[in-house]
Chains A and B, each alone.
Chain A
């Protein structure tokens, strides 16, 4: 059996993105012995890709803004499937989290009276997004990174977790390996927080980073936690479509926020047909479907997208407000966006669903296991508004960290059960030196094809059923996966073995939930059920286990009496419009 080192902590956080770092800072502040375990180097997590900003009802630009307005916008954006309490907490606490970042050294663009400036974004009634140019995520991650470095947090970089260790039902630790050397490593945790972000790599066309393989969903599910709302995938309307090497790369919504216009190959501003009131700043699901429809009906650009144009704006303004977009198109596509239009199309961007958690504390139903950020579900309902992710990470990362630390103080030191560790060791070692014959790279490629063909932006019963049976085959092949190389040090094939199995589990949850939801809503569009359904407007889908099988059930939306008035008022307002 492989030798491994064991590290003991009160709180172990998986993931070093915004939610993971915020959780770790909170846990350490509360006095817990805290570790962050992440696959990448510190400061490289997918949060750096967030461009547009952080939605917080500060009212610096629009004094009439309020938490209740932000709550209503979030609920409307999520088509009322959000967990009401989560949307409430987010709207109420995001302003403090934004101020706190500034107190930790972050800088944001300013108003003329020297406060944090706020920009318009799709689905937000008022100018609400705190931002710095189009690199707000980098600012957030760098600020949290520096705060973490000067907190009592140990960071295990380039460390892959392949299994959660349980003692009975309770999660008591995690097992994995250090990528640089291949040495195996175990952690004991009194509380373990899943902050692993999304799983966009199950699709070929995605804005997601290499590391976004949905590990947290699969590990939590395998440990007995439930997944929620997995059918809702946000296809960001504007990804690059050309050249092929960058297809899927994000083009920030801030381009439209700053006045960018969408046109088809006939030169028409086609959003007039789909959402004449909000036009380019309609919610992401609507804009993505509109672009897709234009292309499908033959009005796309030469490379199968729509034109997105800022060339009518002042060139210096564009370079100042959208500097990374200017660079990205200039360097990678040879396009000067101040002079000519971009070509854009939908790209898999964000998972609304995730591990089902308590709204106030991020607890899953498994003792000792928490989830937060994109890895958790509920906050965003069926569709997330742009700018609501960064606030989500901070608000709920902090809450999970605080509760995880409090929980840890109640527990005696942990000892890892030998059987569970042996299983983890055998699994991991098996990927390297076992008898498997399946190549993980090939499996990943096949998975992306299945998801693109059957579980993309538009879905129907036939395509989903086919995909589900193909995914079952892939899952079987996944059980027989083995790294093409037996090297220990920095072996990417070894890493991919467990990741591809995680991705298949996540894909199964998505496809099955998508088949069950017979309606179209937010990030789930059924060609064979094109409209809202009354039953489904009141229900979420939970992915659960029964005797080792994946089972799905519908549960009523988590409501809260004191918020019903706000919801009704918003619904009335929409009807009137």
Chain B
């Protein structure tokens, strides 16, 4: 994990990363879990109202309003499970891991509060295999809470496989239930997920931390940061051509260029990859775009999983996107034909383009493949790949033009500015 840059000055009133990691200090600072008195039937409604007034949206990628999710689940999760999603399958994201290490009790408090709203009887924290330091932090927090009787419903830490799609909610719930870590085909996403016969609600770790702050401090604390129409803060992982990669907490609405300046770019960025590996490239003319859902959507981007990668001028966006597409193709769960065959074909087209192959049919073929693959997976993995490739063709149109006339990319052999997990070490048998 890279060094985390600290929260910005003035972030003291609302800064997730500034919360204490141990329970005694946490309890001293924030007080007890604000759970309902036994007779208080309206408590769940009051918490949902606070979430609604806060305007909190999910921080795991989809950006769904937290109050709507909690309302739909109210009372329906009886006996069920709150799943804390700290899978963070994006190689360029560290925010949920860092939050789990820095402020695990905030995350777990949020899970307990939503368990009280939905009637869930257990909290299951998911940290992937391999990230032992994160799982250890979660387990330490759970042990502290159990010993101090701080956890009204039982909390456990589980270790699903470390794969890009393992954190997709149906894959996660399927794995917890004892099945394989594979996304399910769900034509109607409003049908709740289940573990056995009981409801399972999956929430991103950072979202739960915000829930815990809002439950104690009210919606005003959250709304004191960010924009009226897109309030609060978000954790963002910065990497790429920067001298200080790491996680920062930013106000929603902060201009993109101000966010990346906190990681000290090595030079003027050529482009930014915003939202993660399933996000979109953003060109310099849009660097002042506010980091907020509607503003990002207007330029074809999304806040996604809170990742911003800085692309330096010496890199080629097409080469980098070819590597990205190749990585995403390799991370397919392998269930759906359009993803299994389409993503490698798209990655090959990009690689041929970057290598300067003169192939007059390539642009039309790539365009058709992108259109045909989109929307045809059980999960949205292929759609994310299509989104990032389409944005590359738009933002790096000049490079596309040059390469398609036979000039290979000069930086193909240079190391990538993106982060990819090291391939598993092969042990000779």
Q: Do A and B bind each other?
A: no
Chain B contact residues, CB within 8 Å of chain A? none
